[in-house]
């Protein structure tokens, strides 16, 4: 029906476009213009969007859609912290030593274990770095150039360990270098292979082969600041701890009542499948609460009372061998319907928004995976609401409303229309009457006129059988007189507001089925007397 409202909106514009494109004449004279403007056959899907509707095998339309209402990605589960290490790789106090080129300074080479402090008691054994950097700040207090070697023996790419070989010239000026860690696979098991969050690094400091032989004294050598920065994993494996991740109070827009209002709106059945999709290799428990239907037009809200949403256990995802789709998620569905909840009144509220909050508990049963939890960068935990509402309804009436900007204040051709009519010819195959009205609004959005004459603005419903199924459509013609005052007000138009009210049969029948085959065939035409002027 939205397409119908758009057509109605452009009635005046199309007329103006028709008459304004006529050729100029040698003298001023009046002409009669009579012609069809537009035609459209409209299905109930045009009320909103085709993507919101599906037909079942009987032809009954369903308002059916899926909305993601919550979720979180890998960075909410595990964050690798920035780690800064300061090292003086220098001679000990009260010592000195003659060093030939190519020799290591005393106590080198050496192996070190670096422990990353990861929040929430997360224990990582293996990671693949998607992006991140190793920042080095060097300073050489010796008189000769030194070569700084840093190797991460268990951090590899294509089987080759990460390594830095950097020449540090003598002097107090700091040398700052950045090294890319993207794509490196990291084992965080330490030297013994049974630790967690522990990186192994090997460091050697040698006198450059092209240096002059000299004596290195106490306090001389390389000062280095090593920073592991902005580490974002593509993949992590280990134990992710027992975490509580809050889903804060939030809203999801449904927009059912933005353009739809109803009186005594009732449905026969419906369901919402709350679907939790776990893309992580970790068991979780989901707890949903404060799910509310809010209609901002009527200022009403309805809390959803449904069992089964406060304690939902979901198994871990599994791995695939497909790089582009590395996991097959674990999916848990909780079905809420009109028999196990108050879903009927929840949806009859025609919500603009759904509210929700909740909590995700990670590893609710502890480390039952044996530290084999896993997660990939582009996976997540997502919660969806799959809504299905068959359009088998009761109501006194319902309205569709839309307001659009249309500035006609500078259209000069309006002044050249002497009089005439617009005609709306409609063949209605729906089981309800349509009462149409369009309002002309000024720049303050105040109503200054209406388009349709009352009571002659009703499109009669189709012919119904005893089950209120349309057996044949009904033709109606509506005339919109273009009077002098109407044309004057159209000239001031800045906005058009259209209201289409659909009256269901009275007395109130059983639930009326809205079928996919129902449509409204609309023809718009114009018959005006127009003063043609030489330009």
What does the alpha-carbon distance between residue 425 and residue 39 come to, in Å, rounded to a whole number?
Answer: 9
In the three-class reduction of DSSP (H, G, I as helix; E, B as strand; rest coil), residue 93 is classed as coil
Task: Tally the C-alpha atoms within 13 A of residue 260's C-alpha that lie toward its C-beta.
Answer: 19
Whether pLDDT at 29 is above 60: no
Residue extents of the structural domains in the chain: 2-60+395-532, 63-74+244-390, 79-239
Contact between residue 94 and residue 219 where contact means Cβ atoms under 8 Å apart: no
Quick one: pLDDT at residue 14?
A: 39
Structure tokens, 14:
């199309």
pLDDT classification of 2: cutoffs 50, 70, 90: very low
Domain boundaries 63-74+244-390, corresponding CATH code: 2.60.120
**For 333-373, how does the pLDDT look when each residue is reduced to its tens digit (9 = 90+)?**
999 999 999 999 999 888 888 899 999 999 999 999 999 99
Quick one: pLDDT at residue 27?
A: 43
Give percent above pLDDT 70 in the chain: 86
pLDDT classification of 39: cutoffs 50, 70, 90: low
Q: Which residues, 6 or more positions from 350, have their beta carbon under 8 angstroms from its beta carbon?
A: 256, 257, 260, 261, 262, 265, 295
What does the alpha-carbon distance between residue 500 and residue 516 come to, in Å, rounded to a whole number?
Answer: 20
What would the mean pLDDT of 237-242 be, rounded to a whole number? 95
What would the mean pLDDT of 207-235 be, rounded to a whole number? 91
Whether pLDDT at 31 is above 60: no
Q: Do domains 63-74+244-390 and 79-239 have the same CATH topology?
A: yes
What would the mean pLDDT of 236-263 be, rounded to a whole number? 83
Farthest-apart Cα atoms in the chain, separation: 114
Q: Which residues, 6 or more positions from 159, have their beta carbon under 8 angstroms from its beta carbon?
A: none
What would the mean pLDDT of 263-278 be, rounded to a whole number? 90
Given the candidates 1.25.40, 3.40.50, 1.10.3470, 2.60.120, the CATH classification of the domain at 79-239 is 2.60.120
Question: Is the peptide bond preceding residue 417 cis, with omega within 30 degrees of 0?
Answer: no
What would the mean pLDDT of 123-138 be, rounded to a whole number? 94
Phi and psi of 209, rounded to 5°? -65, -20
This prediction's pTM: 0.76
What does the alpha-carbon distance between residue 334 and residue 309 come to, in Å, rounded to a whole number?
Answer: 7
Whether pLDDT at 3 is above 80: no
What would the mean pLDDT of 55-67 be, rounded to a whole number? 89
CA 95 vs. chain centroid, Å, equals 65
Whether pLDDT at 201 is above 60: yes
What would the mean pLDDT of 126-137 be, rounded to a whole number? 94
Mean pLDDT across the chain: 84
What does the alpha-carbon distance between residue 459 and residue 434 come to, in Å, rounded to a whole number?
Answer: 5
Contact between residue 35 and residue 46 where contact means Cβ atoms under 8 Å apart: no
**For 413-446, how does the pLDDT look when each residue is reduced to its tens digit (9 = 90+)?**
667 777 788 788 889 898 889 888 878 888 888 9
Quick one: pLDDT at residue 36?
A: 59
């Amino acid at each position: 029906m939205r397409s119908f409202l758009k057509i109605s909106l452009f009635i005046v514009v199309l007329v103006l476009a028709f008459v304004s494109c006529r050729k100029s004449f040698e003298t001023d004279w009046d002409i009669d213009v009579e012609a069809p403007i537009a035609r459209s056959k409209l299905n109930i899907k045009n009320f909103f969007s085709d993507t919101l509707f599906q037909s079942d095998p009987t032809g009954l339309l369903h308002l059916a859609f899926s909305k993601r209402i919550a979720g979180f990605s890998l960075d909410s589960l595990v964050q690798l912290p920035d780690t800064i290490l300061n090292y003086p790789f220098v001679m000990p106090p009260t010592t000195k030593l003659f060093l030939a080129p190519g020799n290591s300074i005393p106590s080198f080479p050496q192996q070190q274990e670096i422990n990353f402090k990861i929040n929430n008691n997360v224990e990582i054994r293996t990671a693949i770095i998607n992006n991140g950097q190793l920042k080095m700040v060097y300073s050489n207090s010796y008189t000769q150039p030194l070569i700084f070697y840093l190797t991460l023996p268990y951090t590899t790419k294509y089987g080759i360990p990460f390594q830095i070989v950097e020449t540090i010239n003598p002097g107090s000026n700091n040398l700052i270098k950045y090294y890319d860690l993207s794509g490196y696979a990291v084992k965080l098991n330490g030297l013994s292979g049974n630790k967690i969050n522990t990186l192994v690094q090997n460091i050697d400091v040698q006198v450059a082969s092209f240096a002059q032989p000299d004596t290195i004294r106490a306090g001389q050598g390389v000062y280095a600041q090593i920073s592991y920065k902005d580490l974002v994993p593509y993949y992590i494996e280990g134990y992710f701890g027992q975490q509580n991740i809050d889903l804060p109070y939030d809203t999801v827009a449904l927009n059912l009542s933005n353009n739809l209002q109803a009186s005594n709106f009732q449905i026969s059945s419906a369901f919402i499948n709350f679907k939790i999709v776990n893309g992580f290799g970790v068991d979780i428990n989901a707890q949903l609460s404060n799910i509310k239907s809010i209609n901002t037009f009527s200022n009403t809200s309805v809390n959803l009372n449904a069992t089964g949403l406060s304690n939902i256990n979901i198994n871990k995802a599994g791995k695939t061998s497909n790089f582009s789709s590395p996991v097959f998620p674990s999916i848990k569905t909780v079905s809420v319907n009109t028999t196990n909840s108050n879903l009927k009144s929840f949806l009859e509220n025609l919500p603009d928004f759904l509210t929700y909050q909740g909590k995700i508990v990670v590893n609710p049963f502890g480390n039952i995976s044996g530290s084999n939890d896993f997660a990939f960068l582009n996976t997540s935990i997502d919660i969806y609401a799959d809504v299905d509402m068959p359009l088998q309804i009761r109501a006194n009436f319902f309205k569709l409303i839309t307001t659009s900007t249309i500035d006609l204040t500078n259209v000069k051709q309006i002044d050249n229309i002497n009089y005439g009519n617009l005609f709306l010819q409609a063949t209605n195959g729906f089981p309800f009457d349509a009462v149409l009205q369009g309002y002309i609004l000024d720049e303050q959005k105040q109503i200054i006129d209406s388009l349709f004459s009352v009571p002659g603005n009703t499109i009669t419903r189709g012919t119904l059988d005893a089950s209120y199924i349309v057996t044949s459509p009904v033709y109606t013609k509506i005339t919109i007189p273009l009077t002098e005052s109407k044309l004057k007000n159209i000239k001031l138009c800045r906005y058009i507001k259209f209201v289409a009210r659909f009256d269901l049969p009275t007395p109130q029948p059983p639930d009326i089925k809205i079928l996919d085959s129902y449509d409204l065939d609309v023809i718009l035409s114009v018959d005006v007397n127009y003063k043609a002027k030489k330009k």
